[in-house]
Amino acid sequence: MKVEVISLQIIFHIDLNAFFASAEISQNPDLEGKPIVVCRESRRSIITTASYEARKYGIHSAMPLFQAKELCPQLITVPPHFQLYKTLSQQFFELISSFSKKLEVASIDECYVDMTEYIQHQHIHPYQAAKDIQNHVFKTLKLQCSIGVAPNKFLAKMASDMKKPMGITMITNRNFKEKLWHLPVGDMHGIGKKTVPKLQQMGIYTIGDLAKYENYEKIRTIFQKNTFIVYQRANGKDFSKINYKKNELKSVGNSTTFENDSHDEEFIKSVFHSLSQEVSNRAKKRDLVSNSISITLKYTREKSKTKQTIIDQYTNDFDIIYATALLLFESIYNGENLRLVGVSLNNVVHVQDLNIQLSLFGKQGNHLSHHSQTDQFIHQFNEHFPDMKVMKASSLIEDDEIQKKYLKNNE
């Protein structure tokens, strides 16, 4: 479906559903479909997040664990793994930024993104764009998300809360009254629980009541200098901008969890190959480079190793990232079974901030200069580790015999 070029902006609010619980399920699929909560196993513990299966029993965040177990005796308790949540959160934002760089992080599991240019350039319907993002997040990270689509941030946030999990809701300038005005005033984003009784005492029970001009003077006693903003939002208007300039990434990384623990070095190196390619692609899309590369090896939930090195050039080149990852892997791997491996560019900077030549990103005039740097790095690597043979992926294509063999095997 083609979309006409319009002047209205198209804002998405994307919210990961039951994020901490979903993150645990993404690492342990056996938990899928079961009532789980994320918290320490202690009678005094307070629940951080409950899966949607647990919520069916009336369990919710901030509930004491002992009460939750009374509601659901078969409840599964999973301890929190905050580094996992941080990693998945970063990967989530990186993934969303591949659709649009105009992204504002709202919290660890939600963001606003201006999708106007993407939708106009791709000539697709906003709903389809939201569906594409939703599917991509689930396929890549095994995380569910709900998306609100609207002409401003406030309406987008309201929309994303309406269908969970995996919901997509569109609110427009034409249907916002139908979507919002019947809702209790406490459901309006930005209205705190302590404010609701005060509004109700004034006869304001719904968002529609809040939107009436005759109630403006009443609500001024509560909202004071923010009265106009609240009144405008109740009437579907929000002029706040996407603050995407504050969201400069500090690192670009990717990791994967194996279906079965493995100590097969050839398999592990092939995974590093894929991860390095993904990290390179993500960095290039955002024009980010770094001279710090690290890998992570995870043996069990309690045992992991991270190794970082500084190289003598800023890069986002796949060959250099991959060769460095292999070097680091050889330096710390002890032959034990691995459950997860990861690769990361750390302390990334925008290429313009470095004042370096854009030849790093493929300008024809400096193509040879870029490749000579890569070749020099790989040569030094192979001299240092003679038992490992590293070569550029592009050289496989240049090698006619290898190319013929590949084609023959895939006929």
CATH of the domain at 210: 1.10.150.20
Q: What's the CA gap between 351 and 357, in Å, rounded?
A: 8
Q: What's the CA gap between 257 and 30, in Å, rounded?
A: 14
Write the CA distances from 125 to 10, 101, 157, 172, 216, integer angstroms: 11, 19, 19, 14, 37
Amino acid letter, 340: L
- Give the pLDDT score at 411: 35
Of 209, 234, 259, the residue at which a domain comes to its end is 234
DSSP letter string, 312-358: EEEE--HHHHHHHHHHHHHHH--S--EEEEEEEEES-EEHHHHT--G
Q: Do residues 384 and 397 both lie within one domain?
A: yes
Q: What's the CA gap between 319 and 326, in Å, rounded?
A: 11
Q: Do residues 28 and 112 both lie within one domain?
A: yes
CA atoms within 13 A on the CB side of 365: 2
Active site residues per annotation: 110
Q: Which SS3 state, helix, strand or coil, does residue 24 take? A: helix
Q: What is the pLDDT along the chain (411 residues), one digit of tens a residue?
A: 444 444 589 999 999 999 999 999 999 999 999 999 999 888 788 999 999 999 999 999 989 999 999 999 999 999 998 888 988 998 999 899 889 989 998 888 999 999 999 999 999 999 999 999 999 999 999 999 999 999 999 999 999 999 999 999 999 999 999 999 999 999 999 998 899 999 999 999 999 999 999 999 999 999 999 999 999 999 999 999 998 765 666 788 888 888 888 999 999 999 999 999 999 998 888 888 899 999 999 887 667 888 999 988 889 999 999 999 999 999 999 888 998 999 999 888 877 766 543 333 443 333 333 444 555 555 555 555 555 445 544 444 344 433 333 233 333
Expressed as residue numbers, the domain containing 261 is: 248-406
Task: Report which of 87, 399, 72 is spatially closest to residue 257, judged by C-alpha positions.
Answer: 87
Write the CA distances from 99 to 10, 120, 289, integer angstroms: 13, 12, 19
Q: Do residues 150 and 185 both lie within one domain?
A: no
Q: Do residues 253 and 330 both lie within one domain?
A: yes
Q: pTM higher than 0.85 for the full model?
A: no
- Orientation angle between helical segments 367-384 and 318-332, nearest 10 degrees: 10
Burial of 336 (0-12, 13-18, 19+ CB in 10 A): exposed
- Give the pLDDT score at 251: 81
Q: What is the DSSP letter of 240?
A: P
Amino acid letter, 193: K
Residue 239 lies in a domain: no
Give the contacts of 243 (CB within 8 A, at least 6 positions apart): 104
Q: What is the DSSP letter of 301?
A: S
- Give the pLDDT score at 86: 85
Which tokens sit at 194? 């302590």
Strand-pairing partners, residue 296, are 306, 342
Number of domains in the chain: 3
Write the CA distances from 180 to 50, 169, 253, 283, integer angstroms: 27, 12, 39, 40
Q: Using DSSP bridges, classify how beta strands 11-16 and 110-114 pair: parallel, antiparallel or unpaired.
A: antiparallel
Q: Do residues 110 and 99 both lie within one domain?
A: yes
Q: Do residues 286 and 305 both lie within one domain?
A: yes
- CATH code where residue 139 lies: 3.30.70.270
